[in-house]
Structure 1
Amino acid sequence: MIEFDGVSFSYDDRGRSSDGHLVLSGADFVLDEGELTLVVGPTGSGKSTLLRCINGLVPHFSGGTLHGRVVVDGRDTRTHRPRDLADVVGVVLQDPVSSFVTDTVEEELAYGMEALGVDAVAMRRRVEETLDLLGLADVRSRPLRSLSGGQQQRVAIGAVLASGPRILVLDEPTSALDPVAAEDVLASLHRLVHDLGLTVVVAEHRLERVIHHADRILLIDEGRVSPLLDPAEAMVTSPIHPPVIALGRHLGWSPLPLSVRDARRRARDLRATLPDRAPAPPPSAPTGEVVCAVDRLVVRRGGEPVLRGVDLDIHDGDVVAVMGRNGAGKSTLLATLVGQLVPMSGSVRLGPPADSIDPARARPAEIVVRAGMVPQDPATILYADSVAEECRAADRDFHLPTGTARAVLDRIAPGIDDVQHPRELSEGQRLSLALSLILASEPRLVLLDEPTRGLDYQAKRRLVELLRELAAAGHGIVLATHDVELAAEVATRVVVLAEGEVVADGPAAGVLAGSPAFAPQVAKILHPLHLLTVEEVVACTGAAS
């Protein structure tokens, strides 16, 4: 169905990247019909480039030098452009908004079928099926721009699925989805693979969500592409792996379990003998100074209430994970804390009580010394023509020593070239750059909206270390996130929003461990023990990882 025959690629005219390495090297494999193949590799390793080769975006729209052949359903991509493959290949890229061409959900689902000449009766049936399949029926008439990031991602997937491709290529398809929505989408893809013979190729950093669905795995490291591997075989050596694999490696399990279900069976004896050494609950009253106070906050967007009477205090040293399904109000809350949205009622006070301000009425210069925010779309705060210029501008704007922002970037995502334009970076690299610009100034309150979107486990680990240092130094941190593994690693508190209201607010272990939707993999494997991470299990077993 998909054949890569000695494929190598670089984006520049010399056939090599600026540091002398091919972006893709030695890609030589055949993907069979009716299989789900997972592409695994670090941020910036070449995963997105490989996916773009499948429908001809590389090299027809990217430029660069392609060696070897990519043949899709008998069509050579050197002679067939993306439009010539549109009837057989559907592609969902990392930024769903960039793919939208209509105004509403229903129109977007129908657009691709109209372009392919699908008759009206079949089109209506497919739209209805797709709305139900992806849980979009309630927003069918909504403007696309009014949707949450996760809802937009589901629409982008639905628009491609509705057109009926035989091959579906997905780049980070669950990065903006809440855990339940992500599992629903992946389960739907799994059914399409097994029931209808759809061929699916997925690049995804949150392997805990998808690895148990995979039939084959391709590993990519610095552009070098492995042969097709069995998932359990690939995970034995892969540096990129989910917590269930890390736990299995630590405990010496062989073969490695890929799912929570398999791991729970292997962990029966461990659950019986492992003492429950979950961290002691924090004091009932936080001891740090309040750096943000939210009182009975009500916010409307598009005439509809999004936040309904939210009360929340953030203290020095707090790391608060704000969680909830897509559209619950997480991004709206963060935007209101920095004055981007004006409350209908209630109040927000930013900064310690003796020096607090109302962000909705304050000047930007007053806000940035109290709070810094990285939005869900990092491109909105990137303006310069190169990575180096972005870092220098941040140092200058925040009156920091030269090289401060670049040093933070190297901690989170080392190796990004100074001369690269931010638009040329992968989604994870672009997010890392935006994070470094904000974190370099060390604002008293740090607000991060989906801060691990596009980050691999290694980059996430480096970000966790940096956030822990900031919290230890007395900074308050608020993370709006669907990444339950991030919340388990770094959060001291978890706040769950539903329909704009706070439905849970407590210590991370207490909120996460007992939640079917938000429990991390280790908590599910070891339930009822209140252990959230492999690090905690290692400490309990008294052995090094």
Structure 2
Amino acid sequence: MITFEQVSVRYHDSATPALSGVDLTVPEGELCLLVGPSGSGKSTLLGTVSGLVPHFTGGVLHGRVTVGGRDTREHRPRELADLVGTVGQDPLAHFVTDTVEDELAYGMESLGLAPEVMRRRVEETLDLLGLAELRDRALTSLSGGQQQRVAIGSVLTVHPRVLVLDEPTSALDPGAAEEVLAVLQRLVHDLGTTVLLAEHRLERVVQYADQVLLLPAPGEPPVLGEPAEVMAHSPVHPPVVALGRAAGWSPLPLSVRDARRRAAPLRARLDGRTPTAAPAVTGDPVVTVDRLTVRRGPVPALRGVELALCPGEITALMGRNGAGKSTLLGSLVGLHQPTAGSVRVSGLTPHRARPKELIRRIGLVPQDPRDLLYGETVAAECAAADEDAGAEAGTCRGLVSRLLPGIDDALHPRDLSEGQRLTLALAVVLTSRPGVILLDEPTRGLDYAAKGRLIEILRALAADSHAILLATHDVELAAELAHRTVILADGEIVADGPTPEVVVSSPAFAPQVAKVLTPSPFLTVRQVTQALGDTP
């Protein structure tokens, strides 16, 4: 269905190709998972299939990409729209209408299909994706999983034979991610749609893949093969694969169920061992939230929230999309005025405090770091951060160099990778040396290596007595990093306690290792390997 013939792509401002040596075929009617480290060319490869590369993103495309017999270099994206459907990370950026039904019809209207055909296909798609009850709903009122299903439906009504998705679950809670992946499976199994999917959170998707396409480091040829075979040597792999490698299992498991079937000997080796406990956090709270209620429109986004954050403590804030996590973070930095209750941060009331006073006490790294970055270059961004914080010149740049060496001063922030942008935004926040650091979905768009660097950075900050609160859907991050986990549901705290107790008691938020090894108290592969290393 999709054929790459000696494909390479080089952008005009780059000394090395973004993609090279791609010579393979993706079969029809299969789900092909695209994996690789950040910067390996995954988004570029997806763009060559949809025609966005080179028609819209620029660059020079060598070789030939054909989809259903059409050469994407000779056909612009609008000429491929009936064949290839493309869905990006952010469904709201994809929408062009206001309601579910209008969005499903828009693509067909653009192609000039007859009204009776459009009506029939809208109804078929509503049923296929479980959207019938939402047909008249405003798109902005939907949950993240519902929006992603509508985005997929809006390209399905055109009846494409190929669906290209770039990190479709990165912003979704575990339940919503399962909804989207179930839809993709139905498309592959029932309709024979070819799905090409790039995703960093492999623990969610690798068990559903028919084929895995690995883009290794630059200079190495791509590899297409069976998921277990590719995962055996892939530099990026989910925790369940890492656990299989540590235990010496062959073939490697791809799902929790596969791993549980062979985990009895490993549980026996770990019997009587426990992970090293995190040191107890002491000290008076630097943030106190007392019976906080925040109303955004007619519905309360937060209701009676009680929370305290202490120096040196890392707290994970979890919950489904729309639970109120971002609203709580925004309330802590004064973006939302309480309807009832109060927030105190180091003696200040955030929504009444002067910004220059507040940034020295609390800083927020938003879900999209670009919301915090407005300079034309990295150097300009750092200089502005120094000035805003009243810090000595070079303070922010020194933080950037310490957190992630090698970022060029002359680069525009939009030209940085997701991990580099996050690092720059974190350095901007840290320039004021706030005692409290808030991060909203910090691992969105990060590969496992970049996530590992972020974990080390945050651990060092906690050791330096910063209080850290991360709002995240990444259960593996919470298990690896957080001393404490708080779960929000419909604006209320429904769980608050030590991370091992909270995540293990919730099937939705339990990490893969905990699901495999239960009732053993291990949450991460690192804990398991440490325990195995101590075993005589």
TM-score (norm 2): 0.93
Is the CA contact 2:361–2:433 (under 8 Å) kept in the aligned structure 1?
no
SS of 2:6's partner is strand
Shifted more, 429-438 versus 207-216: the winner is 429-438
1:258 is matched by which residue type in structure 2? L
Q: Check 1:161–1:496 CA distance in 2 against 1; reply closer, same or farther (3 A cut).
A: farther
| Structure-to-structure mapping, 1:251-400, within 5 angstroms | 251-274=247-270, 275-280=272-277, 287-351=282-346, 356-400=347-391
Deviation readout 1:180-219 (Å, 9 max, x if unpaired): 1112211221221122111111111100001111111222
SS of 1:542's partner is helix
The 2-side partners of 1:407 and 1:136 are apart by 50
Is the CA contact 2:359–2:389 (under 8 Å) kept in the aligned structure 1?
no
Partner of 1:245: 241
| Structure-to-structure mapping, 1:1-20, within 5 angstroms | 1-12=1-12, 17-18=13-14, 20=15
The 2-side partners of 1:250 and 1:368 are apart by 44
Is the CA contact 1:413–1:459 (under 8 Å) kept in the aligned structure 2?
no
| Structure-to-structure mapping, 1:30-45, within 5 angstroms | 30-45=25-40
1:194 aligns with 2:208: no
Deviation at 1:434, TM superposition (A): 2.3
| Structure-to-structure mapping, 1:188-227, within 5 angstroms | 188-224=183-219, 225-227=221-223
Indicate which of 399, 416, 424 corresponds to 2:415.
Answer: 424
1:350 is matched by which residue type in structure 2? V
Q: Check 1:316–1:345 CA distance in 2 against 1; reply closer, same or farther (3 A cut).
A: same
Deviation at 1:138, TM superposition (A): 6.5
Deviation readout 1:355-381 (Å, 9 max, x if unpaired): x11111222112211111111122211
Partner of 2:427: 436
Is the CA contact 1:442–1:470 (under 8 Å) kept in the aligned structure 2?
no
| Structure-to-structure mapping, 1:101-250, within 5 angstroms | 101-124=96-119, 126-127=121-122, 130=125, 141-145=136-140, 152-224=147-219, 225-250=221-246
Is the CA contact 1:281–1:507 (under 8 Å) kept in the aligned structure 2?
no
Partner of 1:523: 514
Deviation at 1:320, TM superposition (A): 1.0
The 2-side partners of 1:500 and 1:124 are apart by 38
Shifted more, 127-136 versus 391-400: the winner is 127-136
Deviation at 1:166, TM superposition (A): 1.2
Partner of 1:513: 504
Question: What is the percent sequence identity of the aligned residues?
Answer: 63
Q: Check 1:194–1:442 CA distance in 2 against 1; reply closer, same or farther (3 A cut).
A: farther
Partner of 1:487: 478
The 2-side partners of 1:208 and 1:250 are apart by 16
Deviation at 1:533, TM superposition (A): 0.4
Q: Check 1:51–1:308 CA distance in 2 against 1; reply closer, same or farther (3 A cut).
A: same
Partner of 2:446: 455
Q: Check 1:215–1:44 CA distance in 2 against 1; reply closer, same or farther (3 A cut).
A: same
Deviation at 1:149, TM superposition (A): 5.4
Q: Check 1:149–1:183 CA distance in 2 against 1; reply closer, same or farther (3 A cut).
A: closer
Structure 2 residues not aligned, in runs of 5+: none
Deviation at 1:132, TM superposition (A): 6.1
Partner of 1:498: 489
The 2-side partners of 1:154 and 1:372 are apart by 34
Shifted more, 111-120 versus 228-237: the winner is 111-120
SS of 1:237's partner is coil
Deviation readout 1:336-357 (Å, 9 max, x if unpaired): 1111111211111112xxxx11
Deviation at 1:63, TM superposition (A): 1.3
Deviation at 1:392, TM superposition (A): 3.4
SS of 1:83's partner is helix
Deviation at 1:134, TM superposition (A): 5.4
Deviation readout 1:369-417 (Å, 9 max, x if unpaired): 1111111122211111223332333244334455554454456655544
SS of 1:447's partner is strand
Partner of 1:28: 23
TM-score (norm 1): 0.91
Partner of 1:61: 56
Q: Check 1:349–1:140 CA distance in 2 against 1; reply closer, same or farther (3 A cut).
A: farther
1:93 aligns with 2:111: no
1:7 is matched by which residue type in structure 2? V
2:110 is matched by which residue type in structure 1? A
Partner of 1:49: 44
Deviation at 1:171, TM superposition (A): 0.7
1:330 is matched by which residue type in structure 2? K
The 1-side partners of 2:146 and 2:382 are apart by 32
The 2-side partners of 1:129 and 1:308 are apart by 39
The 1-side partners of 2:403 and 2:132 are apart by 39
The 1-side partners of 2:484 and 2:438 are apart by 14
Deviation at 1:48, TM superposition (A): 0.6
The 2-side partners of 1:326 and 1:76 are apart by 39
The 2-side partners of 1:115 and 1:432 are apart by 41
Deviation at 1:513, TM superposition (A): 1.5
Number of aligned pairs? 533
Deviation at 1:292, TM superposition (A): 1.0
Q: Check 1:157–1:342 CA distance in 2 against 1; reply closer, same or farther (3 A cut).
A: farther
SS of 2:215's partner is strand
Is the CA contact 2:145–2:179 (under 8 Å) kept in the aligned structure 1?
no
Deviation at 1:112, TM superposition (A): 1.8
Deviation at 1:532, TM superposition (A): 0.5
1:318 is matched by which residue type in structure 2? E
Q: Check 1:344–1:115 CA distance in 2 against 1; reply closer, same or farther (3 A cut).
A: same
Q: Check 1:409–1:124 CA distance in 2 against 1; reply closer, same or farther (3 A cut).
A: farther
1:240 is matched by which residue type in structure 2? V
SS of 2:312's partner is coil
2:5 is matched by which residue type in structure 1? D
Deviation readout 1:217-249 (Å, 9 max, x if unpaired): 222234454131221121122111111111111
2:192 is matched by which residue type in structure 1? G
